[in-house]
């Protein structure tokens, strides 16, 4: 039934279609406060406008880059704009106008650049050394002249703007009008101050509702603003004062020498200084999908583009809003972020309940009017109308409007936002940055996690612990072992090994701010350099690398799985070095250095022996790399990096220990019904050893290699994928294919980790893309939904826990709010029909609305997760949100409350012996007090949908306790001291005890209800082997 009623409110959790977004918006009716309800919903019209602006900017850039470049060469230099250098620029020591240098790079104007004297001349004009970078003392001056690397942002919203938003509620506006009219009529008929009580009571109630709502919304806004700042944090490597350091892109200044590597975002416009194989993806700016090679001939780099491959150095020429990227960034967040599926679903629930509430409100108003008119007719007063009658009719109207206030659960979709904001803030403290709201929600439904090995399951602190050289394997555990290795290895072999390590590396030894030598590079590269130093080659020996001329470089990437370099030797010769995945390097070797240090042929039999040694290393959970070289008899300028004919120098085994706590986290995931699959580029034996150590590879599980997986037919995929626990030697395309098949063939909700540029397709395809914060490239982070800031697998488990917590917290809140809705509507309607008056006044209903809406959401939607959440399977894709246990609890509690309130309403005076002139006021106050305490205790009941012990963890949740205490305290104030405005009278202690006791009885009733079995279907079993739930949360 839920699927039928909410068919227009179904939304994909990732990249929903514009049609689906528009469909649910048009299906929403009865919105009391459009500004507040849709504050966290994307503005599709604004988004379309921003998209058109972006397309215009991109088209302009594309024309400039790909069309005008050819035309510019025919334009006479005399027609170009002449830039007169301002005095402040000249006095600051700079010799080029900010707009001139910006136009050269933006227009890719090689002619003017060459006329000026090239990149070196630009560096001189900017008073900077391409080797040493800018000086720290010149930074402020550069920012004054050339600007800051910051983009125009929306002005922040003040608290008063949220007050104004809260006041846009249509029902509150109507009630304000009613209050004003009530004041006028009341003063005219009853005089001052008695005639003001009803009107002032409504105004005070509205003030309280608006204040609490605005404070809650403003706090959410501040949380999201802080998270948004975290999302925008990007760091780059620069050289300043001759020292390498990491800085925020917002601190980049014109003249900075920036170091770029694969996956980086170009932080500003600039010019290429040096580098190898630098391939730039300009699609984010120009829309062109073909990457561009950047080198000395084509040196232009534009802000916002991505490094697809290679590495290099650039000098920054233009920053901030002078760049085209700055203009694009102005429009990037226009229209807001897509709403989450749960927000949309609850908008649907609110719409359906709102329609029911509106019907009840109209019926209540009609019944009250008819009864009033009938009574007047019976008393023969139909022709006589007074101001008191007008006041009564106004009161009926106010009650009807207030029923709509209570009946339209505006807080349902907003509770999702509140819960997500709370969870995202907590996750930020726990080292997980949620980039997209829906990811936090979806992570609770994850049934499979495809995780990388290196850095996620392991520490990413690598060290060479074993080597095989000159046909001899040796353990490397310290200086003694290194000395033994040097003793056993001929000097010529040592020299070629050190050259292979120091020449063929992307790592660098640099001086940090303190002047200390630091190795900058990937953990694997750093481990090799440290191994080279352990063999006696100090950093001065490393510096000897500069005596050799690097001719060509093929950087490592996840497709090639090797790095090659071509080196010009001092004697005029050329030598190629290659290192990488052991099996791949072994295949391109036809020679080997034997036990005597001689280069000999490598027959197939010997190659198989080496492969056996590689597998032995891998079985010890070591990451294996082979190093090889080849001498080439060609002159420097004509040599190419060869693809075969290498000589194998050595095999090294690198230890990367498993992170503490990973094994326990994996077991917890399995208990939570989540299948863990390791996807790695490493050797299959290494992968198997690590997977067994982590508890991922179990009996009956399958480990496959990427090439084998790639060749499987669809039928074989159906059979094999459920059993795959490890995929080794995989390409990014294999990861993408695995994720795609898990989702399409088996309906899994898949989370996938990634750190490289090539992982972007898999991160986009997965239900939840998880990028690594330390090892991850900017490209990976940009395509991810969540960034794991500490690269730790246990943090992923924490995201799952909070995701499940968000889902179940919203279920608790919905259960609580629907119970209040049902009781408030039914009791007011039937009371109006039978007695001609509603027991709950407008002011009282506003207070009840505050309890169940904003305060209820704060109490229940911000409950912290407990470990029990990870002892049940994930909620299935497409499961009913309002489950049978929830309906059982809602109906049971509603029946109990309605019976009690009906007895009090229709026979309360006789049963309780209430008499006197104020008997009706005392009874109505008791009904109101009892109703509120029923909600207070039902709020406690709603802390757990299935389990009887609802007090577990309650005293650890200070928010929940604070709200319960505040609700009770204010209820006492309303009844005892604000009776004039709230239409209440003080109650004696016996009636207070009775109210509390009636409310408290709902706790044992809830326990009895939870013992009533609800229908379950346990026949279906998940393809990974665990029992799946039909819908909703299990015993949590």
How crowded is residue 699: how many other Cβ atoms within 10 Å of its Cβ? Answer: 4
Q: With CA atoms as reference, report the closest residue to 823 among 699, 999, 697.
A: 999
How crowded is residue 597: how many other Cβ atoms within 10 Å of its Cβ? Answer: 15
Per the annotation, the verdict on 452 as an active-site residue is yes
Buried b (16+ CB within 10 A) or exposed e, 907-939: ebbeebebeeeeebebbbbbbbbbbbbbbbbbb
Residues 531, 464 contacting (CB under 8 angstroms) = yes
Place of tokens 């969870």: 423
Parallel, antiparallel, or unpaired for β 306-318 and 549-554? unpaired
From the list 256, 452, 682, 755, the catalytic residue is: 452
Q: With CA atoms as reference, report the closest residue to 262 among 777, 776, 781, 791.
A: 777
How far apart CA 504 and CA 488 sit, in angstroms, is 24
Q: Which tokens in the block code for residue 619?
A: 């079985």
Parallel, antiparallel, or unpaired for β 589-593 and 646-655? parallel
What's the gap between Cα 479 and its chain centre? 45
How far apart CA 107 and CA 324 sit, in angstroms, is 11
How far apart CA 563 and CA 556 sit, in angstroms, is 4
How far apart CA 810 and CA 20 sit, in angstroms, is 23
Residues 526, 507 contacting (CB under 8 angstroms) = yes
Parallel, antiparallel, or unpaired for β 750-754 and 448-451? parallel
Residues 6+ apart with CB under 8 A from 624: 581, 582, 614, 617, 618, 651, 652, 653, 654, 683, 686
Residues shown for the chain = 1036
How far apart CA 987 and CA 310 sit, in angstroms, is 79
Q: With CA atoms as reference, report the closest residue to 1028 among 1016, 1012, 1013.
A: 1016
Largest CA distance in the chain: 125
Q: With CA atoms as reference, report the closest residue to 487 among 501, 474, 503, 500.
A: 474
Query: If you ran DSSP here, which 8-state letter would residue 558 be given?
Result: T
Query: If you ran DSSP here, which 8-state letter would residue 506 be given?
Result: S
Q: How many CA atoms lie within 13 A of 233 on its CB side?
A: 14
Report the phi/psi class of residue 478: left, alpha or beta, with left for phi > 0 and alpha for psi in -120 to 50.
left
Return the sign of the alpha-carbon dihedral for residues 674, 680, 686, 688. Answer: positive
Catalytic residues: 452
């Amino acid at each position: 039934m839920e699927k039928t009623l909410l068919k227009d409110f179904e939304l994909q959790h990732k990249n929903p279609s514009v049609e689906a977004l528009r469909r649910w918006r048009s299906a929403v009716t009865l919105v009391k406060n459009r500004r507040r309800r849709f504050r966290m919903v994307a503005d599709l019209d604004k988004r379309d406008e921003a998209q058109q602006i972006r397309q215009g900017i991109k088209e302009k850039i594309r024309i400039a880059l790909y069309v005008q470049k050819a035309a510019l060469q025919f334009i006479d230099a005399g027609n170009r704009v002449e830039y007169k250098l301002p005095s402040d620029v000249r006095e600051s020591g700079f010799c080029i106008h900010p707009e001139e240098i910006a136009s050269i790079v933006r227009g890719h104007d090689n002619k003017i650049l060459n006329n000026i004297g090239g990149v070196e001349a630009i560096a001189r004009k900017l008073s900077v050394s391409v080797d040493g970078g800018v000086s720290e003392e010149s930074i402020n001056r550069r920012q004054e002249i050339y600007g800051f690397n910051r983009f125009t942002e929306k002005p922040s919203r003040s608290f008063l703007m949220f007050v104004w938003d809260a006041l846009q509620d249509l029902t509150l506006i109507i009630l304000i009008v009613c209050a004003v009219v009530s004041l006028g009529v009341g003063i005219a008929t009853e005089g001052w101050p008695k005639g003001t009580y009803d009107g002032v009571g409504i105004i005070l109630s509205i003030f309280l509702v608006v204040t609490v709502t605005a404070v809650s919304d403003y706090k959410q806004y501040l949380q999201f603003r802080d998270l948004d700042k975290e999302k925008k944090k990007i760091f780059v490597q620069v050289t300043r004062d001759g020292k390498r350091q990491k800085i925020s892109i917002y601190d980049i200044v014109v003249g900075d020498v920036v170091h770029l590597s694969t996956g980086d975002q170009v932080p500003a416009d600039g010019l290429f200084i040096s580098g190898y194989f630098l391939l730039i993806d300009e699609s984010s700016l120009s829309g062109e999908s073909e990457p561009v090679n950047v080198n000395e001939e084509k040196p232009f780099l534009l802000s916002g583009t991505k490094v697809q491959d290679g590495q290099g150095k650039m000098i920054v020429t233009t920053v901030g809003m002078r760049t085209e990227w700055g203009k694009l960034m102005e429009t990037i967040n226009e229209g807001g972020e897509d709403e989450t599926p749960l927000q949309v679903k609850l908008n649907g629930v609110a719409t359906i309940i709102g329609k029911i509430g509106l019907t009840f409100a109209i019926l209540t108003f009609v019944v009250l009017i008819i009864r009033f008119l009938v009574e007047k007719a019976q008393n023969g007063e139909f022709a006589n109308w007074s101001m008191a009658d007008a006041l009564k009719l106004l009161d009926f109207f106010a009650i009807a409007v207030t029923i709509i206030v209570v009946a339209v659960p505006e807080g349902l979709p907003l509770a999702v936002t509140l819960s997500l904001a709370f969870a995202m803030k907590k996750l930020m403290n726990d080292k997980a940055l949620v980039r997209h709201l829906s990811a936090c929600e979806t992570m609770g439904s994850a049934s499979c996690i495809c995780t990388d090995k290196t850095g996620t399951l392991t520490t990413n602190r690598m060290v060479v612990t074993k080597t095989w050289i000159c046909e001899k394997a040796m353990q490397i555990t310290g200086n003694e072992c290194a000395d033994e290795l040097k003793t056993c290895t001929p000097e010529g072999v040592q020299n070629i090994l050190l050259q292979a390590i120091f020449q063929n590396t992307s790592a660098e030894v640099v001086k940090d701010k303190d002047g200390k030598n630091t190795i900058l590079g990937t953990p694997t590269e750093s481990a090799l350099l440290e191994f080279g130093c352990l063999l006696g080659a100090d950093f001065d020996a490393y510096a000897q690398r500069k005596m050799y001329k690097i001719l060509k470089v093929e950087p490592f990437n996840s497709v090639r799985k090797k790095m090659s370099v071509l080196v010009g030797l001092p004697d005029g010769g050329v030598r190629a070095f290659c290192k990488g995945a052991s099996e791949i390097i072994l295949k391109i070797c036809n020679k080997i250095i034997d036990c005597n240090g001689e280069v000999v042929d490598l027959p197939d039999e010997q190659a198989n022996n080496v492969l056996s040694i590689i597998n032995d290393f891998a079985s010890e959970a070591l990451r294996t790399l082979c190093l090889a070289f080849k001498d080439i008899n060609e002159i420097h300028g004509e040599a190419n990096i060869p693809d075969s004919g290498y000589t194998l120098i050595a095999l090294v085994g690198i230890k990367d220990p498993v992170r503490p706590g990973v094994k326990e986290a994996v077991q917890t995931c399995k208990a939570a019904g989540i299948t863990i699959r390791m996807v790695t580029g490493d050797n299959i034996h290494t992968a198997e050893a690590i997977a067994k150590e982590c508890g991922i590879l179990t009996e009956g599980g399958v480990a496959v290699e990427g090439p084998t997986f790639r060749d499987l037919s669809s039928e074989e995929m159906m059979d094999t994928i459920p059993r795959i626990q490890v995929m080794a030697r995989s390409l990014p395309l294999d990861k993408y294919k695995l994720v795609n098949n898990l989702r399409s063939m088996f309906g899994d909700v898949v989370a996938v980790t990634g750190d490289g540029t090539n992982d972007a397709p898999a991160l986009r395809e997965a239900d939840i893309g998880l990028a690594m914060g330390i090892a991850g490239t900017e490209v990976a982070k940009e395509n991810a939904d969540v960034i794991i800031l500490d690269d730790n697998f246990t943090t992923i488990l924490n995201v799952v826990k909070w995701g499940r917590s968000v889902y179940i917290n919203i279920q608790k809140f919905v259960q609580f709010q629907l119970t209040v809705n049902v009781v408030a509507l039914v009791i007011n309607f039937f009371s109006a029909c039978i007695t001609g008056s509603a027991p709950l006044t407008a002011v009282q209903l506003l207070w009840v609305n505050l309890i169940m809406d904003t305060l209820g959401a704060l109490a229940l939607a911000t409950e912290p997760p407990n470990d029990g959440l990870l002892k049940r399977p994930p909620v299935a894709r497409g499961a009913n949100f309002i489950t049978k246990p929830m309906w059982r609890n809602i109906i049971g509690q509603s029946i109990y409350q309605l019976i009690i309130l009906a007895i009090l309403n229709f026979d309360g005076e006789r049963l309780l012996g209430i008499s006197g002139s104020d008997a009706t006021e005392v009874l109505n106050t008791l009904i109101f007090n009892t109703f509120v305490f029923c909600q207070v205790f039902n709020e406690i009941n709603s802390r757990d949908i299935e389990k009887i012990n609802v007090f577990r963890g309650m005293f650890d949740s200070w928010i929940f306790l604070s709200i319960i205490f505040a609700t009770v305290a204010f209820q006492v104030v309303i009844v005892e001291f604000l009776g004039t405005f709230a239409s209440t009278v003080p109650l004696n202690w016996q009636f207070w005890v009775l109210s509390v006791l009636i409310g408290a009885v709902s706790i044992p009733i809830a326990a009895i209800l939870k013992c009533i079995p609800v229908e379950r279907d346990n026949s279906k079993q998940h393809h990974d082997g665990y029992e799946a739930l039909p819908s909703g949360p299990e015993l949590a």
